[in-house]
Chains A and B, each alone.
Chain A
Amino acid sequence: MMPVVLAVTAVIFSLAAGGAIIRIARGPSLLDRVLAADVLLAILGGALCVDMAVNRHLNNLMLVVAISIIGFIGSVTVARFVADRRVNPHES
């Protein structure tokens, strides 16, 4: 059963990563691209989790945690950058 699950999840994750990459390329604003990059990182972490579950090892667990840290720091940093580029802070 596990090879079938691996093939099915590989196809689904590939389609999902393709959609996220299309949104990164097309995204009208910087924040859309940041959000899509975050989703791409989540998809990568999910693929690592499936690899660990199918092959029954835990080598990638720290990598999954590190990926969540990187996604967090990346989106917070870019969000601050965007917020500080306003011309007049008292508008909006």
Chain B
Amino acid sequence: MNPDFSGGDAWIDLASAVFMVVGALLSLGAAIGLLRFPDLMSRMHAATKPQVLGLFLLLAAIGLQMRTWWVWPVLAVAWIFQLLTVPVSAHMVGRAGYRTKHLHRELLAADELEAVVQKAAAEAARRDNHDDGENHQ
């Protein structure tokens, strides 16, 4: 009826189409990163792209296509839930990768976990020696 409304509709369609294609390209970028990066840490860097920004773009495309306001809080809850769970699993995988030495040390710019690990190992060794001394007495 009103050409302004149909023009706005076309623009919303265009925006959601761009969101969908860019979100899909982020998935492709993650796959290329998984295939080409040399070790676990850099692959983790690539893997996070579709989980956070890609999902955000695709959920925004759903919200734009549905043309209703009540759907946005539901989509926000879905995205925030992903945002809360992804760092925890990435932390666990990164720790496990560090402990099992699945990393190329020469590629690291900084290793802030090294000092913590050394300190904990020294602490544990000191405690073991202390316990042995008490047992012998």
Contacts from A to B (Cβ < 8 Å) = 1-2, 5, 8-9, 12-13, 15-20, 22-23, 28-29, 31-32, 34-36, 38-39, 42-43, 45-46, 49-50, 52-54, 56, 58, 61, 64-65, 68-69, 71-72, 75-76, 78-80, 82-83, 85-86, 90-92
> Can you list 16 contacts pairing A with B, beta carbon distance less than 8 Å?
A19-B32, A23-B34, A31-B97, A31-B100, A31-B102, A35-B40, A49-B61, A53-B58, A53-B64, A61-B78, A68-B86, A75-B92, A76-B88, A83-B95, A85-B100, A91-B121
Report A-chain residues with C-beta under 8 Å of the C-beta of B62.
49, 52-53, 58, 61
Binding site for A on B (CB under 8 A): 13-14, 16-17, 20-21, 23-25, 27-28, 30-32, 34-35, 40, 43-44, 47, 50-51, 54-55, 58-59, 61-62, 64-66, 71, 74-75, 78, 81-82, 85-86, 88-89, 92-93, 95-102, 117, 121, 124-125
Contact for A58 among B31, B66, B102, CB less than 8 A: B66
A39 to B45: give the CA distance in the assembly, Å: 12
The answer to whether B71 touches A72 (Cβ under 8 A) is: no
Interface of B is mostly: helix
Query: Given that A46-B27, A92-B117 are known contacts, is A34 also in contact with B14, CB under 8 Å in the complex?
Result: no
State A31–B92 Cα separation when bound (angstroms).
10
User: Nearest Cβ distance between residue A28 and chain B, in whole angstroms?
Assistant: 8
A5→B96 contact, CB < 8 A: no
Q: How far is the CA of A70 from the CA of B50 in the complex (A)?
A: 16
A12 touches B25 (CB 8 A): yes
